[in-house]
Amino acid sequence: MLQGDEQPAPTHSPGDRVQLQDKVGMLRATFRSGRTRDLDWRRQALNDLGRFLAEEASSIAGALKEDLGRPPAEAWTAEVGLVLSEVEHATKNLKHWSRRQRVSAPLIVQPGRAWVQPEPLGTVLILGPWNYPFQLLLAPLVAALAAGNTALLKPSELAPASATVLMERLGQYLDPGVVQVVAGGVEVAEALVQIPFDHIFFTGGGNIGRKVMIAAARHLTPVTLELGGKSPAIVDDSADLRVAARRIAWGRFMNAGQTCVAPDYVLVQRDVATRFREALVGSVRDLYGEYPHTSPDYGRIVSQRHLQRLLHLLEGHEQVIGGGSALHERYLQPTIVWDPDPESPLMQEEIFGPILPVLPYDTMEEAIAFVARRPPPLALYLFSTRRGAVDAVEHGTRSGGFVVNDVVVQLMINELPFGGVGPSGMGRYHGRAGFETFSNARAHLRRGTLIDPSMRYPPFQPSDEAWLKRLL
């Protein structure tokens, strides 16, 4: 089993900027040839990506087990199956998404026709993270290919087995003139963002996202940043506590808590806090048994360094359950922390691990104010059966997504745009939103020349202004 960052991913020479530019040049040449504009070509590219996912599913599952201890069921649902669903959805809707959209034109430009035509941007860079190394690299690729682009992919060096599968297998399915995979460390990523692309799509932490945006600004390259933040779950006294606890525990502890939309902390109404705590502890045991260390369904932390960070976050906090760890195995037991100091690092930093803080509150107004005082998260979850509570949380907070009585599963709905707001990210993808992210909405106007009224041209007559006001 891998031990943290000690086994590097296969790399291209970090200093070989010329080699990276040559790869980008190949992708640009393919785009300039015009063949990616054809809808049949795009469907074939999407089908080829789907074949990669289906035929290499066992290799993908093995790599995820090696990198993250991911169980096969989660490897399928959260990585292979989710991206296959995006492929099928894009293939089915490609003709509709690509259709020109007619718009009305004022009298002053009549006779004339105006429309918006989605066109590909060109050659794009997709920088993937380590926590879902296939889904979060290939789902944006689905959108990029559907929109008619060529793409360079950079998987994370912290998931080296997954990077190896992408490097060695993806090129057997997709034309290297259309999709290139470049593995390597920070040096490679820094070199790539110095090269002009037509769009950069980054998934990861906010600190690196800022650096990507600064580098992109040198070339005025548009960016999509999928970041994260502390996604809260609010539980009120009308909720089904058993279901709420089970769903929150599942969403928090899948992939050992290393999920950007996982509930990062829970606010529970004080009147039901004790019952909820008991249900939450019971749910953890139902999911992973008395000894999660031996559970085949419980993952591992990506590296020893990340595990040490999590252990520091736990220092000084009351743990209802969990806290056990094994550094050399990158293991941290599912851990519930009760009523931590809201100003502690545990409540200020995105945890990104199997730790769930729970804080009691007295009134819904108090809970809403708690969330609203903090940066808007990628997701916000509410467990309640009261319409008034749903409306109050919806209108009193900001977030990239808002889910009532469940967690995480919003990602399974292709046509729900996924993305953050403020420090949790910018831009959207999945379904049509992804297609539009990687498209240029090109404005078209075509006019005839038989009618050319003189009132639009100087010198203006006294009556011209009145006529122009009517025609606009």
Instruction: Report the amino acid identity of residue 292.
Output: P
CB-neighbour burial class of residue 318 (10 A; exposed 0-12, middle 13-18, buried 19+):
exposed
Q: Where in the chain is the domain with CATH 3.40.605.10?
A: 17-227+422-442
CB atoms within 10 A of CB 457: 9
Between 108 and 268, the higher pLDDT residue: 268
Q: What is the pLDDT of residues 365-400, one digit of tens each?
A: 999 999 999 999 999 999 999 999 999 999 999 999
**Per annotation, catalytic residue among 74, 79, 157, 226:** 226
Q: Does the active-site annotation cover 315?
A: no
- Tens digits of residue pLDDT in 78-119: 999 999 999 999 999 999 999 999 999 888 888 899 999 999
The single residue of 56, 66, 79, 260 carrying the catalytic annotation is: 260
Superfamily of domain covering 232-412:
Aldehyde Dehydrogenase; Chain A, domain 2 (3.40.309.10)
Question: How much is the pTM?
Answer: 0.93
Residue reference for tokens 């297609």: 435
Contacts of 450 (CB under 8 A, 6+ apart): 111
Contact between residue 391 and residue 299 where contact means Cβ atoms under 8 Å apart: no
C-beta of residue 424 within 8 angstroms of C-beta of residue 374: no
CATH 1.10.10.10 fits 17-227+422-442, yes or no: no
Contacts of 3 (CB under 8 A, 6+ apart): 303, 304, 328, 330
> What is the pLDDT confidence band of residue 77, given thresholds at 50, 70 and 90?
very high
- Tell me which of 59-73, 105-119, 400-414 is least confident: 105-119
Q: Where along the chain do the CATH 3.40.309.10 domains lie? A: 232-412
Position 222 scores a pLDDT of: 97
Check whether the bond before 360 is cis (ω within 30° of 0): no
Told to judge if 329 belongs to the known catalytic residues of this protein, a careful annotator would answer no
